[in-house]
Amino acid sequence: MVDTVIHADSVVQMNTDGRAHPSLGLPAGIATGPATPAGDPAYYGRLEARERFRRLGIGIMAENGLDVLHVPDVLIAAPTCEEVRSSQWSCSRPTR
């Protein structure tokens, strides 16, 4: 259930105005990151690595006659809203 609706024209504005909860690292990362993904010097290298990984996975599936891979989403349950608001958790909290 959402307690508050945040009205902003952009993530940068939401972060600058302090409307994003301080425990949310993603808005700050987006606001302080490059304007476009291509502005990150490592962007194209990461795309290439992603493609290599994808091809490797598809190759393994083909070699073994697999149609589907099942991977669990997370090993650690997400924190409750109360835990997030209490600043008990940070963005460095493990999810796997």
d(CA 82, CA 93): 16
d(CA 27, CA 33): 10
User: Per the structure block, which two tokens stand in for 26?
Assistant: 């993603």
- For the chain, the residue count is 96
- The pLDDT, as a whole number, for residue 29 is 84
pLDDT at 62 over 70: yes
- The pLDDT, as a whole number, for residue 6 is 66
pTM reported for the whole predicted model: 0.52
pLDDT tens digits, residue range 6-47? 677 888 888 888 888 777 778 888 888 888 888 889 999 999
- The pLDDT, as a whole number, for residue 15 is 83
